[in-house]
Structure 1
């Protein structure tokens, strides 16, 4: 066993990985303070806002990591502190976002926009900097779900996203009257999505969540050409007819080389408030089984819930993350998704930024 000293603890932590980058926390100067004396170790571990939703488990993992390597009985304290690391520009449009996540579905009506919005809200609630882009040009529902009809303003020819419930939001629903239909061909769609990404002043983001249109249209191809997507989440319901379409969505993402972060089974069951009995209205477990069959991570299941529906209708979707009955499900899905991203980073650590000459 190594001597109990600050230097020896730092040397041990050279093998502890930052979840955001997959690189050593000592390499990235994330050990803000290390004290070791008299059988006690105290570490201040710097974590960025990207890792906010994993903060507690990363600090516990760090404690366990040290406990396995230090003398038995050592008193180990690990405190997470803020560590600033701005996003680097990515893609041909120079978007400053650490991760871009597409949320799609094979068909409409499965709750994709509700899941997209609630995942973004869960990440923001944890402390991350989050943007939400409604790419469902034909049926933009994010403005209604968030209860805002604000219009984005322009500063120096750049659109300013609407800020609502801690999110930076952009949607065609802000630009087109509710009663008007968008009747566009593919090139116009490509132009709109490009403008939303390139000409919107998103600022510095940890996550940009993109609510995709249903089906397997060409917006996924547009996105894959514009910037490197971290991955995709596919939302479906348990019944076989919905799973058939979800399989097509998975095939689409794979064809355009967008990694799959996981599947969410929405409307998985109904828990009757009168007798607390569970009813599998659309069947159950279909998405989990299909995920296993296709070697795609399963992120979790969400129930048919009157509160979720009502809050969506009332423009109060943010309440999904404050209602004890629903918050846990959405938070667990967002957390598992970020864990899967961190696992990707661990397997392929990010390269350090090169100095500008």
Structure 2
């Protein structure tokens, strides 16, 4: 068999996406060169964005696999190099534009990304669990999904998604790691160990602004933001930074929890945001014999919906009820959302139904000039 042509090899490379940026390597200027020997050995040079690129092994394997599929290729050799400062500048301009000021794409007129702020009145109702499972369910349906862990003090999203990789910085642009096909950003990725974050309101606002403007989210269909409990600084900042964000309220059936959750949803009256709906978590426990046990009472989710409907003057639907399942906790601790680990379980089906009930159409930002520049703080 004759050696493969350069055109065939480059056509194969054009189908290889960068694991983090999710765009073809040639389009990103990451192909340094291609050499083909008569023996069928193909040498491919790859530019990494940084020398400490956390995905270089996966990137190399993607290239190797794609090139080996080309007829006539007997062996593939990968040479890794690092982009120069000029190349990184061009990459950043190509992805984000060259605006002098950072811009939040989700707040721009005509933006097509649906943004959901997942809120709760109190802690312990499973807000983060709902966030990561909803994100995983939407991503499994082919949507481009991002999760912003806005719970700065009580961040838990990276662990629950099994995301242990730190973001990559290209100049002042932050590229978020990807887990289960979900782009993830959290303050936990910028702190050492389990160190606490001790910030007041202005610092929280600045961090959220950077997460929204400096991070390269790409063409998202859905952005989920896991808010801290209550109606404090973060909820107010989100309303200011992305006024179009819809509030998704999480509660349990317990009357006391429902009353507090109602307050979290009622913030929409002051911020003029839309309430997407209510999710009732831990609705019941199903015993091995099939008996349902309502450990936290019943009706809390419906109560929140009815009261918020009266308050805001528009229907607030109950989007889903998720049963209490110990396996959900186990899967979260192990870094695989329950909806992926056990999609046919009662809880897995409930999370899937929740994704369906949001009625998300696949929409993105493809072709739009975002015109974004960035500033540094978190990575600098």
Using structure 1 for the length normalisation, give the TM-score: 0.67
State the Cα distance separating 1:222 from its structure 2 match. 1.2
State the Cα distance separating 1:319 from its structure 2 match. 4.9
CA distance in 1, matches of 2:306, 2:339: 32
CA shift in 2, pair 1:120/1:253, >3 Å: same
Match status 1:327 vs 2:341: no
What is aligned with 1:281? 295
What is aligned with 1:262? 277
CA contact (8 A) 2:278 2:318 kept: yes
Match status 1:317 vs 2:337: yes
CA contact (8 A) 1:152 1:160 kept: yes
Residues 81-102 of structure 1 show CA distances to partners (whole Å, capped at 9, x for unaligned) of xxxxxxxx84567996521111
2:204 alignment partner, SS class: helix
1:294 alignment partner, SS class: helix
Counterpart selection for 2:169 from 151, 154, 157: 154
Match status 1:303 vs 2:323: yes
CA distance in 1, matches of 2:163, 2:335: 7
CA contact (8 A) 1:134 1:170 kept: yes
Match status 1:336 vs 2:361: no
State the Cα distance separating 1:179 from its structure 2 match. 2.2
Match status 1:228 vs 2:243: yes
State the Cα distance separating 1:149 from its structure 2 match. 1.6
CA distance in 2, matches of 1:97, 1:187: 29
1:234 alignment partner, SS class: strand
Residues 239-260 of structure 1 show CA distances to partners (whole Å, capped at 9, x for unaligned) of 1110111011011133111100
CA shift in 2, pair 1:94/1:189, >3 Å: farther
What is aligned with 1:121? 136
CA distance in 1, matches of 2:192, 2:155: 11
Structure 2: gaps of 5 or more residues? 1-103, 310-315, 364-380
Residues 170-218 of structure 1 show CA distances to partners (whole Å, capped at 9, x for unaligned) of 0111111242110000000000000000000000100111111111112
Which runs of at least 4 in structure 1 moved beyond 2 Å after TM superposition?
Answer: 89-97, 227-230, 318-323, 338-342
CA distance in 2, matches of 1:340, 1:253: 24
Aligned residue pairs total 254
What is aligned with 2:150? 135
CA contact (8 A) 1:93 1:197 kept: no
Match status 1:242 vs 2:266: no
CA contact (8 A) 1:93 1:198 kept: no
1:303 alignment partner, SS class: strand
Alignment of 1:1-357 (within 5 A): 90=105, 98-273=113-288, 275-295=289-309, 296-317=316-337, 319-320=339-340, 322-325=342-345, 326-338=347-359
CA contact (8 A) 1:120 1:130 kept: yes
Structure 1: gaps of 5 or more residues? 1-88, 343-357
State the Cα distance separating 1:230 from its structure 2 match. 3.8
CA distance in 1, matches of 2:212, 2:108: 7
CA contact (8 A) 1:100 1:228 kept: no
CA distance in 1, matches of 2:280, 2:340: 17
Q: Which moved more, 1:249-258 or 1:318-327?
A: 318-327
1:208 alignment partner, SS class: strand
State the Cα distance separating 1:166 from its structure 2 match. 0.5
CA shift in 2, pair 1:121/1:163, >3 Å: same
Using structure 2 for the length normalisation, give the TM-score: 0.63
State the Cα distance separating 1:148 from its structure 2 match. 2.0
CA distance in 2, matches of 1:105, 1:173: 21
CA distance in 1, matches of 2:305, 2:258: 10
